[in-house]
Amino acid sequence: MLPLIPQSDPGAAYRSRKVEIDEAIHGVLHSGRYILGEEVSRFEVEFAAHLGTSAAIGVGNGTDALSIALRAVGVEPGNFVATVSHTAVATVAAIEMAGARPVLIEIDPRTMTMDPDALAVAMEKLPIKAVLPVHLYGRPADMNSIGEIARRHGALVVEDCAQSHGKFTGALGNAAAFSFYPTKNLGALGDGGCIATSDASVAERCKMLREYGWQERVSQIAGVNSRLDELQAAVLRVKLRYLDEANQRRAAIAAAYRNLLADVVDVVPPTDVPDHVYHQFVIRTPRRDALRQYMADCGVSTLIHYPVPVHMQPAYAGRLAMVGTLAATESAANEVLSLPMYPELTNEAVSRVADAVRAFYLR
């Protein structure tokens, strides 16, 4: 019987750099400093350099990164923040954590990221304070159009980069938020997050907000406790050195999938752009659920990112502002399927995944 192919495998990422990661962890253990020490400081400098921003501020997780970034750029309780419903629920949760009001915008059905035309309509209807585009699945949103619309209306821009670790996002707005959840392109061995910005005042405010609003251990503003710990920073510093290489491998896997599935007319692959870092390889198909079951029977694990749009989930249904019907969003949720995608995936496994998809549709 063939071994199971997981949809993601963070353990493989650890094993591929085990010696360096273990050495980094042991260094922290022996240092006696476990919160906001040298590893965090060095990672912040190195990650900012990688992104091309002047600052990076490590926090406890990606949701906190979004919430803190929104507050730091000037979003206040009651302000409207435009984002999408086809995203991880953390995007909307973070807006509400900041005290703001989410406004859900339609997606472009081709890219499954925020539709700039829908944003322009929303800007005319509501006093939107900030725009929170999501670089979903590793594909950047249309930041040229989104940024121009936001500037025209005097709105702030905070990027949700939880799935787009690379060199092409993170420096395109007032601030950007990253998650280091273990399955991310740059993943920790636990939770972690970071805010990137080139605005010195925003960076300083982020540093205060992540630790009780402190200056000299006195709370000047109401903050939270959300700090990237030394162990995770040490692991991330190792992995950051190999991020470009890992992203190149993801792109190669995506190219192989696209080639192997080119004649399967019922499968729509993700649109390819040079700066796509392929956090996921998400196909669209009208027979998604049947295909997923068939793949499982073949020993291939898949996931659905995301099965229910945020506006249709019980916690949010009927209480969020929306622009339009979000028909494209709801259609995507019924058709998307994430194939196995991680840098350690072998060529043989990629072929086996594609063969299973082909067998389902071409039998």
Residue range 132-185, pLDDT digits in tens: 999 999 999 999 999 999 999 999 999 999 999 999 999 999 999 999 999 999
What b/e string do you get for 200-224 counting C-beta neighbours within 10 Å, with b at 16 or more? eebbebbbbbbbbbeeeeeeeeebb
Report yes or no: 80 and 104 within 8 Å, Cβ to Cβ. no
pLDDT (tens digit, 9 = 90+) per residue, 258-270?
999 999 999 999 9
pLDDT value of position 113: 98
Torsion (CA) 240, 244, 247, 249 in degrees, nearest 10: -120
CB atoms within 10 A of CB 185: 24
Q: Residue 182 has what DSSP assignment?
A: T
Distance, CA of 265 to CA of 280 (rounded, Å): 21
Task: Tell me whether strands 214-215 and 218-219 are parallel, antiparallel or unpaired.
Answer: antiparallel
Residue 66 in this model has a pLDDT that exceeds 90: yes
Tokens 């406790």 — which residue? 225
CATH topology of domain 243-362: Aspartate Aminotransferase, domain 1 (3.90.1150)
Report yes or no: 106 and 163 within 8 Å, Cβ to Cβ. no
Residue 1 in this model has a pLDDT that exceeds 80: no
Cis amide prior to 306 (ω within 30 degrees) = yes
Name the band, by pLDDT with cuts 50, 70 and 90, for residue 362: confident
Report yes or no: 77 and 71 within 8 Å, Cβ to Cβ. no
What are the residue boundaries of the structural domains of the chain, listed by start?
10-240, 243-362
pLDDT (tens digit, 9 = 90+) per residue, 232-281?
999 999 999 999 999 999 999 999 999 999 999 999 999 889 899 999 99
Distance, CA of 38 to CA of 97 (rounded, Å): 29
| Domain 10-240 architecture | 3-Layer(aba) Sandwich (3.40)
Task: Tell me whether strands 281-284 and 336-339 are parallel, antiparallel or unpaired.
Answer: antiparallel
Distance, CA of 52 to CA of 117 (rounded, Å): 29
pLDDT value of position 363: 77
pLDDT value of position 2: 84
Name the band, by pLDDT with cuts 50, 70 and 90, for residue 14: very high
pLDDT value of position 199: 98
pLDDT value of position 106: 98
Residue 209 in this model has a pLDDT that exceeds 90: yes
Query: If we measure between CA atoms, which residue out of 6, 1, 5, 13 comes closest to residue 235?
Result: 13
Give kind and range of the element (H or E) at residue 81.
Answer: strand 80-84
Query: If we measure between CA atoms, which residue out of 198, 164, 189, 162 comes closest to residue 178?
Result: 162
